[in-house]
Amino acid sequence: MKVVVFGGGGGVTKEFTRLASPLNEVIVVTQDERYQSDIRALGGSPRVLDTEYAAQPEVTAFLEFNKPDAVIWAVSPGGGSGGAGNELLPPAATATKTFEAIEQAGLRRVLLISTIDARNTSKPHPRHYNEVSRWTSDGIWKLIPGYMAAKMETEQALHRSGLDFTLLRPGVLVDTPARGVELGLVQIAKNGYRNGALDVTALIGNMKTCSRALVGEVLLACLQDAGTIGLTLGVMDGDKDVFDEVQRCARDGVDAWEE
């Protein structure tokens, strides 16, 4: 399988490249040449294309030339001048432009790395959230509203696209070994309820984590299971087997998406 990954400087991309490259061709797209040696060392093929500033026809031409079987969007927000917690770069519009380019190139399969608790805040909390997750969700959206809104807008754009997508919402990303997974309809917070004024330290410390290596494993498993097409899945560190859990979610149609 040939896979194009946008977001080559991120830890998730590096973990996926390390896992997938022995049996797949992994083309990793970065904004500049800083990560090329790292990508090659992991078995990937680096390419430079700044999707933030490239016109849609340029992105389409890039995809038509490389002809991947699947595309992964793993671009992390950063930069910008919107102030702490409100940066929208790369904006949701950049992802939307890329999704349109994917369609124009005649491609179908897309996997998106989103974030913990992406949701429509004009509606009630997700039905499966418990009290701790609801409190934590409110705190996250107060702390980094711009970042969260951009992530949700990207998810909505992918849902509107008509592409064959799988959407992953990992917990707080950490650099630890992958030991097991909690997948599907997951709580975003650990046990322990805190009420009252927003305590940022307590809030972050109470959020569930997700190993970057684990996200790489889940990406690879979802690529190999067409039953995950159309699903939105929470991904947290846990104790279950990745491939077993991906198969369960595909078989049962487990979907965390709520419009």
pLDDT tens figures, 224-258: 999 999 999 999 999 999 999 999 999 999 999 99
Q: Write the DSSP assignment of 71-112 as a string of letters.
A: EEE-PPP---SS-TT---SS-HHHHHHHHHHHHHTT--EEEE
Query: Helix or strand or coil: residue 34?
Result: coil
Q: Is residue 90 predicted with pLDDT exceeding 60?
A: no
How far does the chain reach from its first CA to its final CA, in angstroms? Answer: 32
Domain map (residue ranges) of the chain = 2-252
Query: In terms of CATH architecture, what is 2-252?
Result: 3-Layer(aba) Sandwich (3.40)
Nearest alpha carbon to residue 115 among 82, 94, 146: 146
pTM for the predicted model, two decimal places: 0.92
pLDDT tens figures, 138-185: 999 998 899 999 999 999 999 999 999 999 999 999 999 999 999 999
* Amino acid at position 68, single letter: P
Q: Tell me how far the alpha carbon of residue 239 is from its chain's centroid.
A: 21
